[in-house]
Structure 1
Amino acid sequence: MRWRTWTGGLSPYVLDTFLAVCSAVVSLWAVYNDDVDWPWWVYLLAASTALYLPWRRVAPLPVLLALSVPVSLLLSAVAHSADPQVPLYAVIGMYTVAERFPDRQRWPMLVVAVAANVLGTHSPNGALFSVLTSVGGFVFGSLVRSQRRLAHLEAERAREAGERAASEAARAVAQERARIAREMHDILAHAVSLMVIQAEAGPLVVHGDPDRAVRVFDTIADSGRDAMVQLRRVLGVLKEEGAGPELAPQPRLAELAEVAERVRGAGLSMDLELPDGTGSLPADVQASAYRIVQEALTNTVKHSGATRASVRVVRAGDVLEVVVADNGRGVAAAADRAVAGWSGGRGLVGIRERAAACGGRAEAGPGPEGKGFLVTARLPLGAAGVREGVGG
């Protein structure tokens, strides 16, 4: 990019041809202004010293050894006084050696060039000037070589950084999709399960117990409205540009009272115990605990056939303990549906994922003496156990 900027997009081979013409003109001018009236073939030798320049990028060492070196040595031997004071072809040649040759070739070429300058010059001042000219071209070529290496390394680092950023972005997208899938599952599974159970009970009580039928339909409506509210919150995050996980729904432990009421409306006796001062608990831990309880109760309503369930959320030091139990058929009757599949393969797996994301763990299995079903979770409250973006 810098090369294109400096040369205005000019092809490097066109530029090298221009340099060859300039070098030939300088050499011809030196022969023309010399005190000796040189024959035509000396002019031809002077012009030929720049013959290799247009091909210096293609095969720099063979072209340099085959064209420039023999011609320049012959010119120096037969018409030394006709050499230009600053041989442009020699400067560009040493620049090419330093910039393009591998180390095993460039340093020997520098030694040979310095030796030729010292031995082929008739005066100490001339030898010193020739050495400085050759070394100057070599140093400039070495600097350009180093800059190009640095530019290549920077470009490689930028490419690797871009790949890492793309990989991290893809991983973040996958994590966000998984998080949203958990949210959608928890919201819909809980609400739809309650609505289905209530809808199935409605026809049985609509004639014999109208008041209970009204409560059944109220529960269905409440469950639907709650699901719609939570879905709007999830979809709002998806629609809002630049929205992050912190804008996603963050249910609180206090909202479990509403969940308990809806479960009671489904005909399940429900006990709920919450710790004091739930508002002071970390928001992500509260959200995870809420979703764990919600999913456990959803499985109870759908699979257990229980008549009673209890939820106990207590703070034990720096850990929040969550216990959900029921008096249903237990593991023996629900193993294939609830434990192995865990609510269609998502429910209890989601519980474990939420607990693990908080640095905690969750377990599920039979209740005391093998009766009922029990879900327990331990969620650390300390900063070391809380990870960003947990639970929704």
Structure 2
Amino acid sequence: MSTEAPDSPKAARGGSFFVALLRQGAPAIATATSELSDEVGDPTPIHALKRISKMAGPIDPSRRDGLLLRATRYVVLIPLAFRLLAVPGQFGVYAFQHGATGLLPVGVFTLLSVAVNLIGFRWMFRSAPYRGRDAGKLLAVDLVFTVLSPLVLALTVPAQGYFDALAVSSVHLLGEAGLLTLALGVPSGLVFGLASFPLRMLANWINTGGFHVGAAFSTSTALLAELFLAAAALVLTGLGTRLALAYGTRNGRLAERAQQHRMLHDTVLQTLEAMALSGTSNAEERLVEIQRLARAQAMEIRHTIETAKSERAEAGARPLGEKLAALAAEMARDGLRAQLVVAELDDDTLSEVRQIAIRDAVREALRNTMKHSGTDRVVVRVEEREGGIAVITRDHGSGFSAADHPAGFGISESITARLAEVGGTSLVESGLAGGGTRVTLWVPF
């Protein structure tokens, strides 16, 4: 088994992401998830070139994300859309300038160009699985059409309209340079751009008997400029994708860590505190109570670890009212009597993720009541309010002063942060001694 660090020379043999983008084109973006360091997505301000160098850093070419690989093919829609709009527009300019002179061959070329691009669009948007071999065949047909078009126009268009007719095919030619650069990489686009120079001189000679080097050079220069723009777009898209993936991965890890902290707070810590607050003075009864709490907690943690996904899938079939009823039964086993008042709600109005966030936040609020309020009764009311669902827990216990008891982890993370993640809000209100506490939780539809 290899023990080499990811940054060692051997681990980086696959080359850099930047080089892979230039050599392979958009398909190289499929490797963007490999060898991502935490520094890439670190929001700490650093020099721009340093961050770019990290984004363009080492990759493992053998690790290719299938979803990214399928998504990268859509980048070729850009040159296809360009040709689909620009070729008919340039044909209109030709028709306005020359009338019927050479209109038929130029019109046929325009129709064929539009057909080729529409076929490309149709093939890209079809629901069938993506096949690279079929894509290669379509690209080859497109390339042959692009190469032969100026030669056919040179043979069929009168000399007085030839160069303007060539301008129509040049638009298609520019799109081809971008298409090859994005789909296959800069080397393919560069070879095509350089090959266009003798191709245009040959077309000029066929139509006019002269090579017209200046006109051919002008077309090749425009092609190279298009190649540069396509390469720049490719690099920016690839590096931006890698940065977004790194940042998303980092935020996902932070969210997972916060969820784990909440689970520890809402389960293990709550149980330990309940053990410490056990009111019985009999040692034997206290031991039995501690064993009961520990056994129940162990079962809950095991259930959470082993069946988290299946639990959520099953819970998705239950409406919010049933989730809260099950929660009230859970609290009753621990000695808190929760009266549940639920308005008539449409079961489909609230997404499952928001229902779970509400349920878990209510659980924390009820546990706070059980620990701090000095009462064993609480009312939980569910109602529609301001384009969402509001859940209000109300007890008539001892209450607390916000100035003397600032919000701890339970309120800030298990309640406030949990609801904020799903677009909701929370409000904790408590009077002086005897005034009780009211917690209002709200999430949008």
TM-score if structure 2 supplies the norm length? 0.44
| Bigger relative CO (Cα 8 Å, ≥ 6 apart) | 2
Whichever of the two has the greater Rg, that structure is: 1
TM-score if structure 1 supplies the norm length? 0.49
